Amino acid sequence: MCVAKARGMNQTTSGRVVLRYFPVLGRAQALRLALADRGIAFEDVRPAPADWQRLREDAGFGGPFRALPMLSWGDVNVSETLPIASFIAKRTGQYEGLDDAAVARIEAISSCCLMDVILRIAEMLRADTAYPGSDAPRAFAGLVPRLMPKLELLDAELGTADWYGGKQAVTADFFAAEAMEVLHYALGPARGTALAERLPRLTKLARRMRERPALANVYETRPKRITPRPDEDAIIERMRGVDLSAARL
């Protein structure tokens, strides 16, 4: 199990902060960004997948649903990615001064980036194990043409602002940046120019996020893979080779 002390500038409330997730990108990388960006010093606990069957029996580790990610902040434990993101946003004051409609907009963008982009691509990588007989590259070739129109809507939603939060990055921005990172990884560098032309605002947002000083350590320690499967590199190479002309990529 890897336990890292993530650097932070300011603890906004008392109590030890621990984020538990596997040593992959998956559901938790945007949460690592959200904590570090607000200067929250937290323990980034990354249990080895091989240890999970043993650890999951401990409700204090995997929460009530025996699943990760799991956030402990002082005496509060929060399960599931989007509730954790909302909890971090509230604890760090991201929603101060916003009405319910503005908060709902931010959380809808976060949900779209996680559920429709990050987790969809993760599902493609595990298609053959989740659905025996399926093929990840073929599934990916069908996914991308459906995915790009939604990403273009997300791109347009950003408008002329630097961030979905306006002058400051909020939860939606961390999930959007991570969605672009995952998409770039799955498509490969050869399609980088075409992707930037289709999604110029999101491309700039992802680049701007990498330039934030508070996030330097998170990007330095960023996992290389989306899933725990050891043959992910080979599957990614096959996915990058599919014909995506229907998606103009």
pLDDT of residue 63: 85
Element (H, E) at 70: strand 70-73
pLDDT of residue 3: 56
pLDDT of residue 161: 95
pLDDT of residue 14: 64
Q: CATH number of the domain at 2-91, out of 1.10.1740.110, 3.40.50.300, 1.10.3720.10, 3.40.30.10?
A: 3.40.30.10
pLDDT of residue 7: 52
Positions of the chain with pLDDT lower than 50, given as ranges: 8-11
pLDDT of residue 9: 41
Look up the pTM and report it.
Answer: 0.93
Which are the contacts of 125, defined by CB distance < 8 A and separation ≥ 6? 136, 226, 227, 229, 232, 235, 236, 239
CA distance 171 to 36: 12
pLDDT of residue 133: 84
pLDDT of residue 1: 60
Domain map (residue ranges) of the chain: 2-91, 100-247
CA nearest neighbour of 64 among 83, 46, 51: 83
CATH class of 100-247: mainly alpha
pLDDT of residue 196: 96
Using N-to-C axis directions, what is the helix angle for 136-158 and 171-187, rounded to 10°?
A: 140
pLDDT of residue 155: 98
pLDDT of residue 58: 85
Q: What is the pLDDT of residues 46-72, one digit of tens each?
A: 999 999 989 988 888 988 899 999 999
Q: What is the pLDDT of residues 147-163, one digit of tens each?
A: 999 999 999 999 999 99
